[in-house]
Amino acid sequence: MNAGKTIAGLRTGKGLSQQALADLLSVSRDLVSKWENGTRTPDYPTVERIADIFGVSPEIIIDKNDLIFKELAECVDDTDTVPRERLSGIVSAFVRKLSERNAGVFLERYYYLKTTSEISSEYGINENHVRSILSKTRKKLKKHVREGKL
């Protein structure tokens, strides 16, 4: 499923320009263009808003799990040569080294497949802070995986 093509198809089907969709979502036209050409992928709450605008289910645009696993894939992108058991051990060791809060946020997102909004509510922190924690944690995990392969 290609989210960008789906968004473009829904948008053009309703006769909206990229700018009109951007205005409805309070984002830039450039960001809508990046979604449509596949350079970027909207987060799930934005997918839900897009789906609402077009009166479709969010799953028509992108599967929530695919979106979450795409985020995580950047951390373990070059692991075809690492046996699954070894990779599992590397990731487990990494999570144990995180602070309790960061480990919890990471597991809520990538094990329990919760949205950043759900995690934000559960931990009492704003959604941008959740995204920041996840981004920094993924970067650390990527480094940890590479070091673990040595």
Give the pLDDT confidence score for residue 66 in this predicted structure.
Answer: 80
Structure tokens at 86: 């070894």
Go through the domains of the chain in sequence order and give each one's CATH number: 3-62 (1.10.260.40), 68-148 (1.10.10.10)
Of the two residues 88 and 25, the one the predictor is more confident about is: 25
Longest dimension (CA), the chain: 53
Summarize the confidence of residues 25-31 as an average pLDDT: 96
Q: Give the C-alpha separation, 96 to 79, whole Å.
A: 20
pTM (2 d.p.): 0.65
The pLDDT mean for the chain works out to: 88
Of 54 and 146, which is predicted with more confidence? 54
The pLDDT-based confidence of 77 (bands split at 50, 70, 90) is: low
Give the pLDDT confidence score for residue 72 in this predicted structure. Answer: 78
pLDDT at 149 (0 to 100): 55
What was the pLDDT predicted at 79? 52
Q: Is the pLDDT of residue 81 over 80?
A: no
- Report residue 1's pLDDT band, with 50, 70 and 90 as the boundaries: low
**Does residue 115 or residue 84 have the better pLDDT?**
115
